[in-house]
Structure 1
Amino acid sequence: MLRTRVQDLEVSDYPVVIRTNAVVQAHNEVTLSSQVTGRVVRVSPSFEAGAYFDEGEVLVEIDPRDFENALSIAKSELSAANSTLTLAKLVEERKLKLVKSNAVSQGEVDAATASREQAEANVELAASRVEQAKLQLQRTKIKAPFDGRVNTKLIGLGQVAGANNPLGEVFAIDYVEVRLPISGQQRDFLELPEFADDEPLEVTLRDGIRQASDTIWKGRIVRTEGVLDENSRDLFAIARVDDPFGRKTDMPPLRIGQPVIASIQGTTLKDVMALPRAAVRQLDRIVLVDPKDQTLRPMSVQAVWSDAEHVVVRASAIPRGMWLATTTLAYSPEGAKVEIIPEPGASEAIAETNAKGDDQKATN
């Protein structure tokens, strides 16, 4: 006789949990470069691979002496231009007074006015050169654009930094982003934020390398991308995790490039039955046991959701009061009699059925 373990089939609500895999990435990663050319005279201890730095901190300093001299020259030129302008204004005023008494010609007045206007233009030009020289001097100090960490360092003390040459790569640490692939089936069970004012969706992340680790990082899905992946047709949802390196908390660091397993709470399915995945064969075949006569009832089911543990079907798809055969049966013909294998913690109905069967055998 065929023998199988069985379990009760209960109607319940099933909360869908979407699981997907992704890799942590920086939300803002930039290459630092110099806008002026010169020899590096100072490199901050914070400008080393893996080191932290604060926004506005000077990471690299280029020899400022040439730029200080250029600023001094520009200031002198501005001073000379101002003196020339002062003299030009005095000459123009004198000519304007003398022209009233016909002591000078109108041509001389016009020439004096032109000289004053040229002197004013020279002052504006000299002032611009001063501002440019100040800006160039400020650029000898390469400052951190945000709170962050150094990814790579490409410059050293004594080297010559050229204009627009990379000095190193840095990334922001206020938060990181995780680009989560969501399949078309999974999207049916999620309400993903589409617009900026949509409610974020909570997500939990676990270590994708050490899956036995109990560390959990909390994040929020804040937006979705506007284009499906051209190969998989997945939609990518962007999750944000604040303070990834635990500077404000005691959480273990969530590093850039870290593989993670994401879990997202989806919708709750109403009036369904959650079947153990091991009890579903060939994707849609299950075997029921009629408690009345302990006979087999194989049937096909259509899943509304499935995950690693369960295949979820509508309660209306399965006759009420049946048991689910959980033992793999190589042969399961319709109406075949079976013997129920008892399990610890079996329901009273299953235990009673087994008892009745034992009594019938004893009578016979």
Structure 2
Amino acid sequence: MAADSSKISSFAGILLRLAVPCAILAAGWYGFQLLSDEIEKPEPPQPKEVLLRSRVEEIYVGEYPIVVKTHAVVQPHNQVVLNSQVSGMVTKISPTFEVGAYFNKGDVLVEIDPSDYESELSIAESELEAARSEFKLAKLVEERKLRLIESNAVSQGEVATASASREQAEANIALAETKVEQAKLNLKRTKIVAPFDGRVMSKLIGIGQLAGTNSPLGEVFAIDYVEVRLPISGDQRGYLNLPEFAEDAPLAVRLMDGLQQSDETVWQGKIVRTEGVLDPNSRDLFAIARVDDPFGRKSGNPPLRIGQPVVAAIDGKVLRNVATLPRSAVRQLDQIVLVDQKDQTLLPMKITALWSDADNVIVSSSVIPKNMWLATTPMPFTPKGTKIEIIPPTDTSISIAESASLETEESVTN
């Protein structure tokens, strides 16, 4: 009996030792099964379809007057350096011969010491009187010889000598008269006179300074009118009737300040001629515009100064039966997006411009399909046939990203 009890106790101990790890394994398996069950997740809301949005404009078809704009710099039509034709010390400078000063034609601008030239004139006049006296004497001798030869009192050779002396004396008079005229001219040249109405650009001489022959005294320019050399490109020339010959009518041009865009002053000019050659680099043709009374001395207009950059506007031909597109609506120089007015779908297309400027691009109306609007809002992509939402004129939210975010916020709120 004792042996049987011992066996039973031993078997129970073994079962007890096996029960603990089995319970642990069973608990682990249960936990694995529990954790491995799929967790149900709520289905995400369906994203709301967001349409492309754009503003649109009516496409205007009609006439478009071309205005050619170009840039240039004002320059004088006559600019010269005054030189001294005689040498001497500068004794007087007129107040009108200062940088920026105005002067009139005939004004004495600079005076050179005339003493030496007055002496030369006196000497030349004395030599002229002596030559005239010698001529009178030679003429009397010749006449006397001619009377005596009739009575054979003198020889033919003496008569010939007397005639030669008279001719020499006559030539001496002509030479002396030339010297007198030259002396008068030199004396006159001691006063440098203004050759035209103008202004002083630079002054290179002062009182007491010695001026040599051909010494530069200063630079002056005429003020009766100025010229503007306007570059006209090959594309622009086809729309302008530029004067080619002297009898051609001038072409009106308006000039605006090229430095201060806020300056509303407009100077009226006219293109009077064109140059005969194209620029070797740009192949532009230069048209010469003339503006009278540039400093407003007669008209009272603001001055148009030498060297001032200007923007020139020239009225050209009028294009007819064309569509005017705002430049902001043209992408990559030749691409636009149209919107069908019926179903509001996109129609991207390429265009060929007849004319373009800073504000508009002009195309033939025949290339634009009927019943179309022009999309003016930038869009990241424009597939053909895509339906879009038209932004009302009063709507200021033109950003596609902003409009999409606003619609998302509205859907979450609802």
TM interval, short-chain normalised: over 0.9
Match 2:228 to one of 155, 178, 191? 178
Equivalent residue for 2:270? 220
Match 1:16 to one of 47, 63, 66? 66
Distance 1:328 1:222 in 2: 45
TM-score by length of 2: 0.83
Distance 1:199 1:320 in 2: 42
Equivalent residue for 2:27? none
CA distances 1:295-330 after superposition (whole Å, capped 9, x unpaired) = 111111110000000000000010122100011111
How far residue 10 of structure 1 moved from its aligned partner, in angstroms, is 2.1
TM-score by length of 1: 0.94
Amino acid at match of 2:60: E
Equivalent residue for 2:300? 250
Maintained 8 Å contact 1:178/1:238: yes
How far residue 344 of structure 1 moved from its aligned partner, in angstroms, is 4.8
Distance 1:88 1:275 in 2: 97
Is 2:135 the counterpart of 1:120?
A: no
Gaps of 5+ in 1: 346-364
Distance 1:321 1:201 in 2: 40
Is 2:219 the counterpart of 1:169?
A: yes
Distance 1:193 1:8 in 2: 39
Helix, strand or coil for the counterpart of 2:278? coil
For residues 90-169 of structure 1, what are the structure 2 equivalents within 5 Å?
A: 90-169=140-219
Distance 1:19 1:321 in 2: 33
CA distances 1:73-112 after superposition (whole Å, capped 9, x unpaired) = 1000000100100111111001000000001111110000
Is 2:107 the counterpart of 1:66?
A: no
> Any runs of at least 4 consecutive aligned residues in structure 1 with deviations exceeding 2 A, and if so which?
none
For residues 74-89 of structure 1, what are the structure 2 equivalents within 5 Å?
A: 74-89=124-139
How far residue 157 of structure 1 moved from its aligned partner, in angstroms, is 0.4
Equivalent residue for 1:355? none
Distance 1:221 1:328 in 2: 41
Equivalent residue for 1:353? none
Aligned residues: 345
- In terms of fraction of residues, the more helix-rich structure is 2
Greater C-alpha radius of gyration: 2
Give the superposed CA RMSD: 0.9
Distance 1:10 1:217 in 2: 32
Distance 2:329 2:199 in 1: 50
Equivalent residue for 2:97? 47
Match 2:249 to one of 192, 199, 206? 199
Distance 1:8 1:19 in 2: 27
User: How many percent of aligned residue pairs carry the same amino acid?
Assistant: 67
For residues 262-341 of structure 1, what are the structure 2 equivalents within 5 Å?
A: 262-341=312-391
Distance 1:311 1:321 in 2: 20
Helix, strand or coil for the counterpart of 1:130? helix
Helix, strand or coil for the counterpart of 2:378? coil
Helix, strand or coil for the counterpart of 2:354? strand
Amino acid at match of 2:144: R
Amino acid at match of 1:90: L
For residues 353-364 of structure 1, what are the structure 2 equivalents within 5 Å?
A: none
Gaps of 5+ in 2: 1-50, 396-414
Distance 2:251 2:394 in 1: 40
Amino acid at match of 2:358: A
Is 2:233 the counterpart of 1:190?
A: no
